């Protein structure tokens, strides 16, 4: 389990109400109860689990409560990953690292709408 600087957590909490840090299986996650997705995504609002540490070969990952329709196709290679006794989904998007938690989340959200 990794400790994150308090100011990073507070910054995330300031932007997203109800954020909670949870630990499971040796990994740290930040649960975001209400995450508004970029334009062109459907649904528009989901729950999310930000994993800001290395997992599954990714430097960080953003898991969503459901597979989301994005403006451009994405490889949803985390299709029903179990975290905190629920199923979560994530598309392949790597090398998001060396940022604050909020910046990391923003980078993953940008990855949802970019044409790659």
Q: Which residues bind other proteins (CB under 8 A)?
A: 1, 20, 22-26, 31, 33, 54-58, 77-78, 80-82, 84-87
The least CB distance from residue 14 to other proteins, in Å, is: 20
Pairing type for strands 27-36 and 45-51 reads: antiparallel
The least CB distance from residue 40 to other proteins, in Å, is: 26
> What would the two tokens of residue 14 be?
């300031």
Residue with tokens 């629920």: 86
The least CB distance from residue 54 to other proteins, in Å, is: 6
> What would the two tokens of residue 93 be?
């998007």
The least CB distance from residue 34 to other proteins, in Å, is: 12
Of 53 and 109, the one with the shorter C-beta distance to other proteins is 53
Q: How far apart are CA 42 and CA 22, in angstroms?
A: 27
Q: How far apart are CA 22 and CA 52, in angstroms?
A: 12
Of 37 and 83, the one with the shorter C-beta distance to other proteins is 83
Of 10 and 23, the one with the shorter C-beta distance to other proteins is 23
Q: Which residues pair with 48 in a beta bridge?
A: 32, 64
């Amino acid at each position: 389990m990794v400790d994150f600087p308090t100011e990073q957590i507070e910054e995330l909490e300031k932007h997203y109400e109800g954020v909670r840090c949870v630990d499971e299986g040796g990994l740290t996650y930040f649960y975001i109860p209400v995450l508004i997705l970029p334009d062109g995504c459907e649904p528009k609002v989901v729950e999310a689990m930000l994993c800001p540490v290395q997992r599954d070969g990714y430097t960080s990952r953003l898991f969503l409560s459901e597979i989301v329709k994005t403006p451009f196709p994405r490889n949803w290679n985390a299709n029903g990953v179990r975290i905190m006794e629920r199923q979560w989904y994530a598309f392949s998007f790597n090398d998001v690292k060396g940022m604050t938690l909020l910046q990391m989340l923003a980078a993953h959200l940008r990855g949802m709408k970019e044409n790659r």
